[in-house]
Amino acid sequence: MTEDQTPPKFRILADDLGNGETMYSINEVIYDDFHNLIGFHRRPITLTDFCEGEILDDITDALDSYEHPILSAENFPNEYEDI
């Protein structure tokens, strides 16, 4: 990522449920000052707001999450490896 690029607001996270199933969600992620992933909000995004323009922005950001590798919820910020 170059200096002038903004990191993605949301990422897809995979959570292995331990019973052979994987739950996928789109979550807001947290970066440090150097754009390194350092955390994520545990509650997946919801598309509600007092302004429809904000919802459209979130939909656009959510769609952008598909352009990036899926991350592992258990081994964050590592990429998810479906075995």
Per residue in 37-66, pLDDT (tens digit) is 999 999 999 999 999 999 999 999 999 999
Query: What is the pLDDT, as a whole number, of residue 82?
Result: 78
Does position 83 have pLDDT exceeding 80, yes or no?
A: no
Lowest mean pLDDT across 18-22, 28-32, 35-39, 66-70: 18-22
pTM listed for this prediction? 0.89
Element holding 78 (H helix, E strand): none
Q: DSSP letter at 8?
A: P
Q: Which residue type does 83 have? A: I
Does position 23 have pLDDT exceeding 80, yes or no?
A: yes
Does position 3 have pLDDT exceeding 80, yes or no?
A: no
Q: How far is CA 70 from CA 3, 4, 12, 46, 62, in A?
A: 23, 23, 5, 19, 13
